[in-house]
């Protein structure tokens, strides 16, 4: 492992200008993420998880620094690709295939045929090869989220940011997509930062799990070395679940003070 981590966040402080109290949503946050990590972030509602991800993605202004491979990044870029929670993140005026090829052609990731091949391959990986020529409004919510993931895959973004991408889906679809993301994270060389409210989801997916408290304070940060695939029957599952639950509970208590 090299000395510079893939993603290094230093002294990250963020407050929203228009918020009434002007309090710091994130205060002096420090975090390093290594390549190929699957980092799951848990935390009580309003603790600043989405804010952290949006700072990393470059959508927000902040103090401190976010470095990718040692280089400071302040603007959005394809090296940090965001999969939003909102199903409407696809462009309705483009077909599924065009939605995937578009970022590739903007960023000149090859000639036309090459881009098409990459996009179709990514769509195959998320099981939507047959829907390439449909328009987003013809897809279900879960399928749209898969297309969004395919976009990130085709681009080959080193860091994929996911903000509760499955939160609004039913349990069945959700567990199917978890399996897909897991498979992808194991076969592709990408680093995923995944926000969730669901402890089980974090334990199943994460190779490292973080619990944030008030002001983005890190309450829990541990590698998850359980053998994959993790199921509730895996040894150590109950223990980890209990610890996370405890940390979350503390986080909630502290944010209610």
Ligand X SMILES: Nc1ncnc2c1ncn2[C@@H]1O[C@H](COP(=O)(O)OP(=O)(O)OP(=O)(O)O)[C@@H](O)[C@H]1O
Least Å from the CB of residue 84 to other proteins: 6
- Give the count of beta carbons closer than 10 Å to the beta carbon of residue 17: 6
Which CB sits closer to other proteins, 17 or 225? 17
Strand partners, 67: 8, 72
Binding other proteins by CB under 8 A: which of 21, 92, 113, 187?
Answer: 92
Which CB sits closer to other proteins, 154 or 211? 154
Binding other proteins by CB under 8 A: which of 2, 17, 22, 93?
Answer: 93
Phi, psi of 56 (to 5 degrees): -60, -45
Q: Give 117-180 as a 3 state SS string.
A: HHHHHHHHHCCCHHHCCCCHHHCCHHHHHHHHHHHHHHHCCCEEEEECCCCCCCHHHHHHHHHH
Q: Is 16 in the site for ligand X (CB under 6 A)?
A: yes
- 157: Cα within 13 Å, side-chain hemisphere: 27
And the tokens for 62? 């902040």
Least Å from the CB of residue 97 to other proteins: 14
The sheet that has 38-42: what strands, in order across it?
80-83, 159-163, 191-195, 38-42, 208-212, 218-223
* Interacting positions 141-170 with other proteins (CB under 8 A): 151, 155
What residues have CB less than 8 Å from 61, skipping those under 6 apart? none
Stretch that binds ligand X, among 42-50, 132-140, 184-192, 240-248 (CB under 6 A): 42-50
Least Å from the CB of residue 219 to other proteins: 29
Binding other proteins by CB under 8 A: which of 32, 70, 91, 245?
Answer: 91
Q: Is 184 in the site for ligand X (CB under 6 A)?
A: no
Least Å from the CB of residue 37 to other proteins: 21
Q: Is 47 in the site for other proteins (CB under 8 A)?
A: no
Query: SS3 of 72, please?
Result: strand
Binding other proteins by CB under 8 A: which of 57, 119, 126, 226?
Answer: 57
Binding ligand X by CB under 6 A: which of 24, 42, 49, 213?
Answer: 49
| Contact residues for ligand X, defined by CB under 6 A | 16, 18-19, 25, 43, 45-51
């Amino acid at each position: 492992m090299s000395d510079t981590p893939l993603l290094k966040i230093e002294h990250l402080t963020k407050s929203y200008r228009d918020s009434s109290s002007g309090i710091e949503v994130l205060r002096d946050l420090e975090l390093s993420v290594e390549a190929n990590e699957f980092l799951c972030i848990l935390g009580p509602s309003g603790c600043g998880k989405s804010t952290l991800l949006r700072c990393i993605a470059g959508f927000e202004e902040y103090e401190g620094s976010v470095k990718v491979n040692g280089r400071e990044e302040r603007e959005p870029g394809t090296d940090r690709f965001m999969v939003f929670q909102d199903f409407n993140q696809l462009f309705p005026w483009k077909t599924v295939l065009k939605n995937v090829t578009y970022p590739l052609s903007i960023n000149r990731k090859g000639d036309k045929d090459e881009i098409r091949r990459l996009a179709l391959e990514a769509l195959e990986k998320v099981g939507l090869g047959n829907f390439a020529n449909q328009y987003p409004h013809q897809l279900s919510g879960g399928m749209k989220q898969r297309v969004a993931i395919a976009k990130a895959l085709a681009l080959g973004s080193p860091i994929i940011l996911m903000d509760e991408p499955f939160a609004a889906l039913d349990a069945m679809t959700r567990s199917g997509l978890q399996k897909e993301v897991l498979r992808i994270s194991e076969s592709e060389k990408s680093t995923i930062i995944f926000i969730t409210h669901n402890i089980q989801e974090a334990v199943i997916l994460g190779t490292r799990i973080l619990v944030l408290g008030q002001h983005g304070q890190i309450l829990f940060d541990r590698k998850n070395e359980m053998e994959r695939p993790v199921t509730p029957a895996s040894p150590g599952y109950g223990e980890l679940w209990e610890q996370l639950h405890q940390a979350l509970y503390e986080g909630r208590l502290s944010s209610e003070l």
